[in-house]
Amino acid sequence: AQSVTQLDSQVPVFEEAPVELRCNYSSSVSVYLFWYVQYPNQGLQLLLKYLSGSTLVKGINGFEAEFNKSQTSFHLRKPSVHISDTAEYFCAVTISGGYNKLIFGAGTRLAVHP
């Protein structure tokens, strides 16, 4: 079975500072990896995904994530955050080649302060 651990439930950061949101997964088979974002009063929106190929994946709004198979990690990074990045971020996995039944982590609340 697959599982996802988001190591930080809350991350406070000042505007224009860099940020890293950590995600580790567990799986005995190959997986696809995702980061979703939920802004206040909105649905989940896909930020980026890793399916295969280059381990560095770039997404929307200046976010990127790096797949590290040996460390079973998929950490999300942004070099300079804005107030508008304040949201909850979810890491998720699904089994490669299967339907997109997603297994989510518990989420990380990113709070960007002026």
Partner 1 sequence: EAGVTQFPSHSVIEKGQTVTLRCDPISGHDNLYWYRRVMGKEIKFLLHFVKESKQDESGMPNNRFLAERTGGTYSTLKVQPAELEDSGVYFCASSQVVTAWADTEAFFGQGTRLTVV
Select from 21, 23, 48, 103 the one that contacts partner 1 (CB under 8 A).
Answer: 103
CB 76 within 8 A of CB 35: yes
Q: Strand, coil or helix: what is 85?
A: helix
Question: Which of the ranges 21-29, 35-43, 64-72, 77-85 carries the binding residues for partner 1, by CB under 8 A?
Answer: 35-43
CB of 52 to partner 1, least distance (A): 8
What is the rounded distance in angstroms from the CA atom of residue 98 to the CA atom of residue 113?
Answer: 40
Tokens, residue 113: 């302060």
Select from 16, 68, 100, 113 the one that contacts partner 1 (CB under 8 A).
Answer: 100
